[in-house]
Amino acid sequence: PRAIHRLDYRPPAFLVDSADLHFDLDPAATVVRSTLVLRRNPKAEDRHAPLRLDGEGLTLLGIKVDGVPFPKTHYTLGEDGSLTVPNPSDILVLETEVRIAPEENTAFSGLYTSGGNFYTQCEAEGFRRITFFPDRPDVMTRFTVAITADKARYPVLLSNGNPAGAGDGEGGKHWAKWEDPHPKPSYLFALVAGDLVAVSDYFTTKSGRDVVLNIWVRAGDEDKCAYAMDSLKRSMKWDEEVYGFEYDLDVFNIAAVSDFNMGAMENKGLNVFNTKFVLAKPDTATDGDYQGVETVIAHEYFHNWTGNRVTCRDWFQLSLKEGLTVFRDQQFSGDQGSRAVKRIRDVRGLRAAQFPEDAGPMAHPVRPDSYIEIDNFYTPTVYQKGAEVVRLLHTRIGAQAFRRGMDLYVERHDNSAATIEDFRAAMQDASGVDLSAFAKWYEQAGTPEVTAEGEYDEAARRYTLTLRQKTPPTPGQPEKRPLPIPVAMGLLDAGTGREQPTRLQGENEARTGTRTLMLEDAEARFVFEDVPAPPVPSLLRGFSAPVKLKGLPLDQLRTLAARDTDPFTRWDSGQQYAAAVMLGMVAAHRRGEPPGFDPALAEAVRANLAGADADPAFAAEALPLPGEGFLADQMDLADPEAIHLVRRHLRRRIGAECADALRETYERLADTGPYSPDGASIGRRSLRNACLAYLAAAGEDGMRLARAQFDAAANMTDVLAALSLLAESEEHGPAALAAFHARWRGDELVVDKWFSIQAMSAQAGTAARVRELQRHPDFSLRNPNRVRSLLGAFASGNPYRFHNRSGEGYALLADAVIALDPINASTAARLVGPLGLWRRQAPPLSGMMRRELERVLAAPNLSKGTYEKASKGLA
């Protein structure tokens, strides 16, 4: 397989002014007729270039140019499936007729069937599996679509844009026509057809237009759409209020499908969603699921302006739409409830997924320079780090200038395909701030490490803060340059813990509250005047940059955890303190010494519980110990077993020492009333379940509480929290899991949870159990959600048992990847990821992982996506 390079970008030779598509739907043999009005691109470099249309797996039935059958001698079909016309005229009408077999499409890219209905997924390169087309994002076209299908089997026929007629045809068929007035790239094309029902509502836009909102689901799921609809309406309103973005069609359709490779897809006017991010009701969905629905609904809706109206010139610019849209959905969710808690959760996610990626073999810049399979670059780096980089610009120029920058960006690039540079230029021009140094954040991979050193001069009442940065090398980028790093900060008085006003040398007046220092070089010194006593610096407030802040002394972390005015730093300092203590315990464990116990950890839990009423959601974030992955990330070589044992020991010890306070909080929060997914209610449930987790870790009393909660709870959040604890117990686990399966076997999203809980169990037999579960009648490699719920959860969510010394965890993952690759390459390529991180483990684990990766790479006919991941993992 060949790599594609960013610098090889050339404008398309031909543009497509309009595309008229006709679908005659049949699961085994769908016929697609396409009429494209093409003309030479005036901006193309080569004025005589051939016309090349992408295609993949299409059976060509007929071809005409300007209404006349086109002789075979006038075009060629490439081995890759493409169609080339070597000597086209500058303007032409090309008609093609092709046949495809949606029911054989197990890759879920292009047109496929699921549960007897038709769905499409075209991003990034799926449209070429539907018809011949220049399938690249910088070709923007006006589409009209006509769909014909059996009326009884496929009563609902949907595509992009606005409805433009429908009627009955011959032989029990019917048809519908859709017109999308907005030019769009082919990756935003969508078609959905089948036996679906709509939950409907409407939204009146700021200019007074009524938009019909439909959520299309299978009959029986109608009672699970309310939260998605509510989230959609709030998103529409928010985007008008915060960005002035109004919806631009008469109808907004969302269709939910159980077979889907990722979360959802922002097709113009017809979003297609994984059921996981639409369907929610209290007895089947957890708080986390509700939050997922809200976030993904918002995200896809926000793409209408950042992604669809302004799209990407090429796939290297992917973060232009994804980073920006994640930033927007994060802002939205923050505005719906607690900004601080939302920020904490987002940073936790970034550290859990993006930091390891940045330190592994697939490390790439937010704007990558090359790829073999673009599907592999829908990554935490492009999405979450991309959002952090947008946030850096927002922090640097301020909210008002950022809004002006967005206006300018849309004004300049509406209905066209833009680049990351275009975005930065708009922000720069609107703010008047030179942002050129920020380009490096898009170009350079790796997570910068920042260290701080403070020096207090008592006689001069002067405090000097030295900040240093360093980014470790990543594949292909051995040398790193310093990046502009905004460090939001304040100073606390070490004695009282109170926030001090700050005055930098050269400033006339002291400032109160958080200020932002810019670290632009490898090292910078900041001198603060009139500092009456040695201060504790509070750095990186709100996580002002996606960096690792290292080496703060333990006593400072404790002061910050207890006293800082910034909730993020308060939370983070507590986590960093616990992590430092736990890493010390891991080291002791490895030396064969007793782990010891730091009473400050129990004190912190008690203090947290005592103040929990003020903000239960925050307390719930602060209560649990840092996760196993976060700890592993801070070691030169991970030791998943030692980390797990230390963490378990500590949970038991804290649970026992703080039992009274934990129990008291648990009881006090017992009556939560009818389920509501608002932030305050979620916070109370999270806190209560965090208490339960400690109590269950401490012993049988806690386990009995968990059992009682499992039996009595009326919502899935509490049931699942209890079940995940019971599953760790040989005594309670089997019965509880069996009862749960019996109760929920008919609900596939809940059955996913049943698989996940078992896959994430710390019990000794988990790897063997995961093997066995792959043979369970409810398991199927063909359903991506099921694959993720069992194999993804095991490999990514259970480091202790995945890295079992026997190596059986690695072997079962490799077996699954090899079996899945021919069925669904995109999902297989995702699944192989954890094996690529073998360099993070010590021998003999690293060697066993590497050998399994080699076994994957040696599999015959490997897809280029899985090849890319495996070969880069071994490089």
Tell me which residues are annotated as active site: 300
Q: Which does 124 bind (CB under 5 to 8 A by kind): ligand B3K, Zn ion, none?
A: ligand B3K
| Cα gap 472→358, rounded to integer Å | 10
Which one, 276 or 850, has the nearer CB to Zn ion?
A: 276
List, in sequence order, every residue forming a beta bridge with 467; answer none if it has no partner: 452, 524
Q: Decide: 243 and 410 in contact? Cβ < 8 Å.
A: no
Report the candidate in 278, 105, 297, 114 with the shortest Cα–Cα distance to residue 193: 114
Q: How far apart are CB 121 and ligand B3K at their closest, in Å?
A: 7
Q: How far apart are CB 866 and ligand B3K at their closest, in Å?
A: 14
Which one, 320 or 579, has the nearer CB to ligand B3K?
A: 320
Which one, 353 or 583, has the nearer CB to ligand B3K?
A: 353
Q: How far apart are CB 393 and Zn ion at their closest, in Å?
A: 19
| Cα gap 231→293, rounded to integer Å | 8
Two tokens, residue 168? 């009955």
- b or e along 488-523 (b: 16 or more beta carbons within 10 Å of the residue's beta carbon)? bbbbbbbeeeebbebbeeeeeeeeeebbebebeeee
Which one, 123 or 821, has the nearer CB to ligand B3K?
A: 123
| Cα gap 419→814, rounded to integer Å | 38
List, in sequence order, every residue forming a beta bridge with 145; answer none if it has no partner: 21, 178
Q: Which does 375 bind (CB under 5 to 8 A by kind): Zn ion, ligand B3K, none?
A: ligand B3K
Look at strands 141-150 and 14-24 and give their pairing: parallel
> Using CB under 6 A, which of 266, 621, 657, 718 touches ligand B3K?
266
**Residue 318: which region, alpha, beta or left (left: phi > 0; alpha: psi -120 to 50)?**
alpha
Which one, 188 or 793, has the nearer CB to ligand B3K?
A: 188
Q: How far apart are CB 379 and Zn ion at their closest, in Å?
A: 12
Q: How far apart are CB 410 and Zn ion at their closest, in Å?
A: 17
For residue 299, state whether it binds ligand B3K (rule: CB under 6 A).
yes
Question: What is the DSSP code string of 473-499?
Answer: -BTTB-S-----EEEEEEEEETTT--E
- Select from 260-268, 578-586, 692-700, 737-745 the region that touches ligand B3K (CB under 6 A): 260-268
Which one, 110 or 574, has the nearer CB to ligand B3K?
A: 110
For residue 265, state whether it binds ligand B3K (rule: CB under 6 A).
yes
- Select from 296-304, 572-580, 602-610, 727-735 the region that touches ligand B3K (CB under 6 A): 296-304
- Select from 177-185, 298-306, 798-806, 828-836 the region that touches ligand B3K (CB under 6 A): 298-306
The amino acid that residue 330 corresponds to is Q
Quick check: bond before 124 cis, omega within 30? Answer: yes
Q: Which does 393 bind (CB under 5 to 8 A by kind): Zn ion, ligand B3K, none?
A: none
Which one, 375 or 628, has the nearer CB to ligand B3K?
A: 375
Under 8 Å CB-to-CB from 604, ≥6 apart: which residues? 561, 574, 577, 578, 622
Q: How many residues does the structure list for the chain? A: 875
The 312-341 site mask, x for binding Zn ion (CB under 5 A), equals ----------x--x----------------
Which one, 384 or 471, has the nearer CB to ligand B3K?
A: 384
Q: Which does 294 bind (CB under 5 to 8 A by kind): Zn ion, ligand B3K, none?
A: none
> Using CB under 6 A, which of 378, 423, 442, 577 touches ligand B3K?
378
Q: How far apart are CB 311 and ligand B3K at their closest, in Å?
A: 11
SS (H, E, C) 517-570: EEECCCEEEEEECCCCCCEEEEECCCCCCCCEEECCCHHHHHHHHHHCCCHHHH
| Cα gap 359→361, rounded to integer Å | 7
- Select from 259-267, 628-636, 694-702, 775-783 the region that touches ligand B3K (CB under 6 A): 259-267
Look at strands 416-418 and 310-312 and give their pairing: parallel
Q: CA-based angle 431:521:519, to the nearest 5?
A: 55
- Percent helix, strand, coil in the chain, to 5, is 45, 20, 35
Cα–chain center distance at 562: 32
Q: Which residue has the tokens 């980073």?
A: 323
* Residue showing the smallest CB distance to ligand B3K in the complex: 123
- Cα R_g (the chain), whole angstroms: 28
Under 8 Å CB-to-CB from 198, ≥6 apart: which residues? 156, 214, 215, 216
For residue 56, state whether it binds ligand B3K (rule: CB under 6 A).
no
The 634-653 site mask, x for binding ligand B3K (CB under 6 A), equals --------------------
Which one, 387 or 452, has the nearer CB to Zn ion?
A: 387
Residues within window 118-157 making contact with ligand B3K, judged by CB under 6 A: 123-124
Residues within window 459-498 making contact with Zn ion, judged by CB under 5 A: none
| Cα gap 375→772, rounded to integer Å | 30
For residue 541, state whether it binds ligand B3K (rule: CB under 6 A).
no
Q: How far apart are CB 613 and ligand B3K at their closest, in Å?
A: 38
Q: Decide: 447 and 364 in contact? Cβ < 8 Å.
A: no
Q: Which does 177 bind (CB under 5 to 8 A by kind): Zn ion, ligand B3K, none?
A: none
> Using CB under 6 A, which of 146, 254, 262, 585 touches ligand B3K?
262
> Using CB under 6 A, which of 26, 54, 375, 388 touches ligand B3K?
375
Q: Decide: 113 and 30 in contact? Cβ < 8 Å.
A: no
Which one, 11 or 263, has the nearer CB to ligand B3K?
A: 263
> Using CB under 6 A, which of 26, 56, 138, 322 touches ligand B3K?
322
Q: How far apart are CB 598 and ligand B3K at their closest, in Å?
A: 42
- Select from 59-67, 299-307, 528-536, 837-845 the region that touches ligand B3K (CB under 6 A): 299-307
Summarize as ranges the residues that interact with Zn ion (CB under 5 A): 322, 325
Summarize as ranges the residues that interact with ligand B3K (CB under 6 A): 123-124, 262, 264-266, 299-300, 303, 322, 375, 378
